[in-house]
């Protein structure tokens, strides 16, 4: 391989093409009127002009990276307009910094239209199951405003000593608990020779599996909470309906359970039920097993 080192080179005669078979080392600069073609270009390109290192461009379509310190993001544009953006926290924007709101999903408007953020259509939304084991109290929330029906499924619930689990509702996904003015009744039917009992005086929450939570009992059940009315002149009210099954550690004491409750939020209030807190009602007693799953229906 040969190397040509020159300070200046011109075509011979009236020619316009210079051919170099090897490597040409130029100490100053090369001026090219139209184009330069090569199999490989060497160097950092730091002295090239008219090139934006933050962009990949073809025509009026491009991908661009932007970072002025703390707002680093990537923009994708097609046919002269920004279509998608990835924000500094990994959020996805449509046609700019339009990142949608919590709970929204991306939906298609067809092959010829841009995607959009949209609130999910009415239907059941099912959450992941959560273990109760090791807790005295446990919060399940995240239900948005507009849910007309909330459901909690309980299975294999047990406590490490005698206790009486009950639930209170949370408002607005901000930890505000309703601790009074419930109207409730709880009953059980159990035993080979039928025994019936219950409680109708509890006003700070709804009792589950009344009188049946000694250690060793296994409890299952479902709690439904129904929204009645909307904010405004009628007020927003809720009805609670619990149905449960208890498998006793003692022969002949398996039972069924029913608890109902009602409460009002108030005329003109914008509050809504966003979840529940389940508790053993005894700080010295924990759930030692069990699972809870939350679902809600938007309408």
| pLDDT greater at residue 102 or residue 171 | 171
- Assess whether 235 and 281 both reside in one domain: yes
Burial of 287 (0-12, 13-18, 19+ CB in 10 A): buried
- Assess whether 261 and 180 both reside in one domain: yes
Predicted pLDDT of residue 230: 63
Tokens representing residue 203 in the block: 């006003």
Does residue 110 register a pLDDT over 70? yes
Predicted pLDDT of residue 191: 78
Return the C-alpha torsion angle 170, 175, 180, 183, nearest 10. Answer: 0
- Assess whether 153 and 269 both reside in one domain: yes
Greatest mean pLDDT among 22-31, 39-48, 136-145: 136-145
Burial of 214 (0-12, 13-18, 19+ CB in 10 A): middle
The pLDDT confidence band at residue 198, using thresholds 50, 70 and 90, is confident
Tokens representing residue 292 in the block: 């809870």
Does residue 186 register a pLDDT over 70? yes
The pLDDT confidence band at residue 232, using thresholds 50, 70 and 90, is very low
Tokens representing residue 113 in the block: 């239209």
- Assess whether 208 and 250 both reside in one domain: yes
Tokens representing residue 162 in the block: 């005698």
> Does residue 36 lie within any of the structural domains?
no
Q: Domain containing 243: what range?
A: 124-298
Task: Return the percentage of the chain with pLDDT > 70, whole number.
Answer: 84
Does residue 14 register a pLDDT over 70? no
Does residue 153 register a pLDDT over 80? yes
Predicted pLDDT of residue 114: 85
The pLDDT confidence band at residue 8, using thresholds 50, 70 and 90, is low
What are φ and ψ of residue 130, in 5° steps? -120, 135
Task: Please give the average per-residue pLDDT across 175-183, as a whole number.
Answer: 95
Give the CATH number for residue 209.
2.60.120
- Report how many domains make up the chain: 2
Does residue 39 register a pLDDT over 80? no
Tell if the pTM clears 0.85, that is, is over it.
Answer: no
> Mind giving me the DSSP string for the chain?
--EEEES----STT------SSEEEESS----SS----S---S--TT--S--TTEEEETTEEEEEE-SSS--EEEEEETTEEEEEE-TTS-EEESSS----TT-EEE---TTS--EEEPPPSEEEEPPPEE-TT-SEEEEE-PPTTEEEEEEEEEEEEESSS---EEEEEETTTTEEP-S--EEEEEEEETTTTEEEEE----SSEESSTT---TT-EEEEEEEEEEES-SSTT-EEEEEEEEEEEE-SSTT--EEEEEEEEEEEETT----EEEEEEE-S-TT--EEEEEEEEEEEE-
| pLDDT greater at residue 295 or residue 194 | 295
Predicted pLDDT of residue 294: 98
Does residue 92 register a pLDDT over 70? yes
pLDDT digit string (tens) for 68-77?
888 888 899 9
> Does residue 24 lie within any of the structural domains?
no
- Assess whether 272 and 209 both reside in one domain: yes
Predicted pLDDT of residue 243: 97
What are φ and ψ of residue 137, in 5° steps? -130, 155
- Assess whether 91 and 206 both reside in one domain: no
Q: Compute the Cα dihedral for 17, 18, 22, 24 and give only its sign.
A: negative
Longest dimension (CA), the chain: 121
Does residue 122 register a pLDDT over 70? no
- Assess whether 250 and 153 both reside in one domain: yes
């Amino acid at each position: 391989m040969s190397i040509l080192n020159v300070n200046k080179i011109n075509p011979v005669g009236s020619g316009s093409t210079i051919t170099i078979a090897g490597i040409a080392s130029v100490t100053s600069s090369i001026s090219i009127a139209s184009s330069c073609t090569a199999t490989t270009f060497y160097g950092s390109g730091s002295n090239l002009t008219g090139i934006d290192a933050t962009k990949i461009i073809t025509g009026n379509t491009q991908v661009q990276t932007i970072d002025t310190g703390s707002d680093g993001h990537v923009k994708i544009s097609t046919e002269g307009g920004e279509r998608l953006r990835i924000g500094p926290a990994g959020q996805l924007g449509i046609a700019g910094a339009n990142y949608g709101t919590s709970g929204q999903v991306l939906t298609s408007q067809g092959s010829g239209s841009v995607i959009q953020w949209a609130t999910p259509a009415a239907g059941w939304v099912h959450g992941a199951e959560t273990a109760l084991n090791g807790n005295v109290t446990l919060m399940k929330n995240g239900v948005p405003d507009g849910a007309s029906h909330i459901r909690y499924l309980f299975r294999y619930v047990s406590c490490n000593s005698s206790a009486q689990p009950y639930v209170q509702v949370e408002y607005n996904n901000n930890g505000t608990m309703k601790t009074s003015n419930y109207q409730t009744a709880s009953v059980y039917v159990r035993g080979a020779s039928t025994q019936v009992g219950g409680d109708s005086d509890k006003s700070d929450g709804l009792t589950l599996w009344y009188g049946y939570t000694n250690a060793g009992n296994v409890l299952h059940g479902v709690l439904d909470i129904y929204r009645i009315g909307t904010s405004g002149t009628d007020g927003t009210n809720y009805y609670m309906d619990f149905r449960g099954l208890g498998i006793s550690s003692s022969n002949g004491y398996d039972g069924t359970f029913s608890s109902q409750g009602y409460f009002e939020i108030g005329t003109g209030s914008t509050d809504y039920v966003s979840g529940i807190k389940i508790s053993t009602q005894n700080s010295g007693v924990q759930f030692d097993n069990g699972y809870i799953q939350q679902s809600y229906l938007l309408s």
